[in-house]
Amino acid sequence: MPSLTIALEEGFSGEQVRILLDGEVVFDQADVRTRMQLGMARMLTVEVSPGTHRIQVQVTPQGEPVEMEIDPATAPVVRVSRDVGGLSISASDAPPRYL
């Protein structure tokens, strides 16, 4: 079964983060903080069925969610960062640099 690695990277400073995959919550945690030494706050791996999936990430309660369609067969790593403009999300086949 394919898996999807979701990396919460730069810019998190104690917020609550919620991640939904195909409408189901796979991560919901308060006090998410980026470790400056690593440039990473959290990382999780989720097993998924083959095919395209929709991921949605939101900093709650104030943030607008970002979402995208992904196919773990071609882009098994999703990176999420936060800055003054909000959340950004991207997918690739390159492993996170801190692994």
Domain that holds residue 36: 3-92
At residue 95 the predicted structure's pLDDT band, cuts being 50, 70 and 90, is confident
Count the helix, strand and coil residues of the chain and give each as a percent rounded to the nearest 5: 0, 60, 40
Q: How confident is the model over 44-59, as pLDDT tens digits?
A: 999 999 999 999 999 9
Residue 98 in this model has a pLDDT that exceeds 70: no
Which CATH number fits the domain that encloses residue 56?
A: 2.60.34.20
* Residue 73 in domain: yes
Q: How confident is the model over 28-46, as pLDDT tens digits?
A: 999 999 998 888 999 999 9
* Residue 97 in domain: no
pLDDT of residue 1: 84
Token pair in block for residue 91: 């997918």
Residue 38 half-sphere exposure toward CB, CA atoms < 13 A? 14
27 vs 39, higher pLDDT: 27
* Residue 99 in domain: no
Tokens 């945690």 — which residue? 29
User: What is the total count of domains within the chain?
Assistant: 1
